[in-house]
Structure 1
């Protein structure tokens, strides 16, 4: 019997050696110490540091979840960095990969610690892992703080996401608590003082009680009474289909139409000689080959170029080169060739396309810079193109611009007046507003109903 026990103890040592080796860099048995019954699982310094390890895990998990749920805004994040750094790169994807790696690293350390505790081993985290823990904790807190300052609305997205992910997070939390039950019970039984047992078991039972009650607060707007579901939302192509084609080009809007979109959204700028065209950025640097054709004019406002200059620029090669979205699918050879030959799109052509396909249009209208010939007549010139040159039926136009709204209503009463902010229903009716153009984070399920 004694020999069998010694053999089992000897065969069990390689497993503990791996745990202690990866966690403490103590691969040899004489370097390790078992926790004596009734004693603390580690020295005081390690007891102080272990909560930091747990905190690093929690903060890295929160940041990874937050950034994972922010995927709808990755392009805005990359565009923000492009405006500050001057070159395009998928920083959003890099941040997601870094967050995932740091979370997996800190999770591995925590799992190793739990396994060592379950085996009755004293904890001793190697100094290199302590530095790594501080780095993960510092990175996660700093990233959460910066994102909260610059993109505080992302917390609204996180709150909305719980309507879908809450049941799965709940199951995952219960699974973790089940796995922790053994080391918690082991150390509670070994404790020789009632106070220590309460300190160990109390928080564990409190968390279990919280997990037991939390389903009472779960809510999903998908669970509804029969007949209360509103109409299907309209699908509007934001700058067309920018994951399938270069944004704000004819190809991009054609892709939206092919996929059954109900409307087309774009951005309108006016050239120096009065031709409204589609361009989101204030410069041509990101979405055209201006750097190759006119390298000295890359920082110049797009509205200060004549249409003869603009129409010669290529507006598609950047799409294949920079790949503006991390989850873009591969394009067919025909689509690649078509994308490479896209040019800047005129507003009049855009409106004719929408009218021929009976699609709604909505656009942000950018006022030209100072000393521009159409600085003070930009709305008049845009209306002239819409009403006299494009031939689009007025009811297809969702007019978003607030400036001179009364004048626009008088000359184009058929436009569907639209605003980009919430307001009392009485005010909306008084201003003849029939549509709201709001970010999804600003709309609750009650507002939608």
Structure 2
């Protein structure tokens, strides 16, 4: 082929040397491209399943930098570009191999691939050090995606088998062929048989599908309004939530108000405290009076930062309402809950929760709300609450404490409870609420598992979900799995036979051509001698 091949210049260098050293180097780089492609695909999968908790990543970034940036979305975009680039590079490499062209990776691609490895390494290390509990999301997600990933893996294995067969036949030495054969057979067996260990709550009959989980508004409806504001809770009512979830702190004069962030700079993310108090850096809710808290704007930052990329969905009137939100008191929320017969569940952030519990319980009792609408979650002061307000429903965030106290309401993070445990609790008439659930795939999975309710930021999206994304009868799945495996084995067998015949034919033709060349050369060498005779 000519040296100025444009396709070659775009992706690979155009050296045509075919020495054994060059071939070994090309093989190593092909292996490296394959490895990085697989790593990038796995990393992209991790990013997509962790997208449910993207707000946690951005919040942690804000804690460090004191500036709200959608760090998670930036990471997803970079990961997507890296994955597409690696996969395209791998496909082009396989195309080169199929054409039996020399594979000489361009130095620019080597740099980009090493950058990809470094990026993924930093990502994995960052999650492991700063967000280790999020790794539990991956095995949870596999319960929803594993059946379909297996089908995809079978398809990819079938397509790549042709290259494996080519490498097997061109390999020199019995040990090389033996190694290729063993690795391929073991990998194929693992992919074909992995459904034996796949478990998913959605592999059930439609008639066994549990009731759809109820919705609890996480700080209201924070995708539609500023979190922990009256507008947010009012918007969540239109979603049909059964409870408001919020966070309570106390001002200097012991008035309970709604605010999630705590410790130093706790007002910076959701209010304009820097504008109102430029020389102050408050570290505790008791640093401010209720009058000072009321002077803060709790909606403008929502419009500026657009944390869920949802502001564009609001009308101009809704944006104006959001712009004028203030920090609400607990009493204001209780009045709203009482009007609409909606429960209230909250976390209590305070260094002295025992004392704060007394003020909060007094505020709740003074509001006149039905005690059965209060879902008491804070563990501190639980005995006092049971004595003073026996009508409150006690909710536990720990499985052991729930069982020891004989409770019947559990509230935990979705990744801290196995689907089997959810079913066991539900069969014992224990209500199970899981937080924070924002994505359809996760809500669908927990629906199949039998969750009683979920705390969510996206109540407006989940309320319209009429059925899980997928439900499949176990027998039907088994039939599909076996059929896909059999078809793949038949196709690979056909490809092997075809390639072997083609290879043997080419090998025989090569031998015949070599004999012809040898014969012609011998005749040429002997012709002077015959002429003299």
Q: TM-score higher than 0.5 here?
A: yes
Q: 1:177 to 1:231 in 2, by over 3 A?
A: closer
Q: Counterparts of 2:218 and 2:97 in 1: how far apart (Å)?
A: 53
State whether residues 354 and 380 of structure 2, in contact with CA within 8 Å, keep that contact through their aligned partners in structure 1: no
State whether residues 66 and 154 of structure 1, in contact with CA within 8 Å, keep that contact through their aligned partners in structure 2: no
Question: Per-residue deviation at 1:181?
Answer: 2.4
Correspondent of 2:200 among 205, 220, 239: 220
Q: Which has the higher contact order (CA 8 A, sep 6+)?
A: 2
Residue matched to 1:440: 414
Residue matched to 1:20: 8
Correspondent of 2:364 among 359, 373, 386: 386
Residue matched to 2:320: 337
Gaps of 5+ in 2: 424-533
Deviates further, 375-384 or 86-95: 375-384
* Counterpart check, 1:102 vs 2:86: no
SS state at 2:69 partner: coil
Q: Counterparts of 2:6 and 2:199 in 1: how far apart (Å)?
A: 44
Q: 1:19 to 1:42 in 2, by over 3 A?
A: farther
Correspondent of 2:16 among 32, 40, 54: 32
Q: Counterparts of 2:355 and 2:131 in 1: how far apart (Å)?
A: 34
SS state at 1:402 partner: coil
For 1:104-150, what per-residue CA distance to the aligned partner results, in whole angstroms no more than 9, with x for missing partners?
12212211211111111222112221122111112212211221232
Residue matched to 2:355: 377
Bigger proportion of residues as helix: 2
Correspondent of 1:161 among 134, 137, 141: 141
Q: How does 1:140-159 map to 2 (within 5 A)?
A: 140-159=120-139
Q: Counterparts of 1:51 and 1:299 in 2: how far apart (Å)?
A: 55
With structure 2 as the length reference, what TM-score do the two structures score? 0.74
Q: How does 1:4-15 map to 2 (within 5 A)?
A: none
Q: Counterparts of 1:51 and 1:363 in 2: how far apart (Å)?
A: 53
Question: Per-residue deviation at 1:175?
Answer: 2.3
Question: Per-residue deviation at 1:68?
Answer: 0.8
For 1:211-256, what per-residue CA distance to the aligned partner results, in whole angstroms no more than 9, with x for missing partners?
2111222222023367755444231111011111000000100111
Correspondent of 1:418 among 378, 395, 401: 395
Q: 1:156 to 1:351 in 2, by over 3 A?
A: same
Q: 1:234 to 1:138 in 2, by over 3 A?
A: same
Q: 1:326 to 1:66 in 2, by over 3 A?
A: farther
Q: How does 1:259-408 map to 2 (within 5 A)?
A: 259-282=239-262, 283-326=266-309, 330-367=313-350, 377-388=355-366, 390-408=367-385
SS state at 1:58 partner: helix
For 1:178-206, what per-residue CA distance to the aligned partner results, in whole angstroms no more than 9, with x for missing partners?
22222222232233433333333432232
Question: Per-residue deviation at 1:326?
Answer: 4.0
Q: Counterparts of 1:255 and 1:60 in 2: how far apart (Å)?
A: 39
* Counterpart check, 1:85 vs 2:69: no
State whether residues 272 and 305 of structure 1, in contact with CA within 8 Å, keep that contact through their aligned partners in structure 2: yes
Question: Per-residue deviation at 1:425?
Answer: 5.8
Q: Counterparts of 1:154 and 1:180 in 2: how far apart (Å)?
A: 33
Calculate the aligned-residue CA RMSD, in Å.
2.3
Q: 1:327 to 1:94 in 2, by over 3 A?
A: farther
- Number of aligned residue pairs: 420
* Counterpart check, 1:127 vs 2:127: no
State whether residues 238 and 266 of structure 1, in contact with CA within 8 Å, keep that contact through their aligned partners in structure 2: yes
With structure 1 as the length reference, what TM-score do the two structures score? 0.87
Residue matched to 1:197: 177
Residue matched to 1:5: none
For 1:27-49, what per-residue CA distance to the aligned partner results, in whole angstroms no more than 9, with x for missing partners?
xxxx335x6xxx96953334334
Q: 1:425 to 1:75 in 2, by over 3 A?
A: closer
Residue matched to 2:437: none
Gaps of 5+ in 1: 1-9, 370-374
Question: Per-residue deviation at 1:398?
Answer: 0.8
Q: Counterparts of 1:168 and 1:229 in 2: how far apart (Å)?
A: 20
Question: Per-residue deviation at 1:353?
Answer: 0.6
Question: Per-residue deviation at 1:278?
Answer: 0.3
Correspondent of 1:44 among 12, 24, 27: 24
* Counterpart check, 1:57 vs 2:37: yes
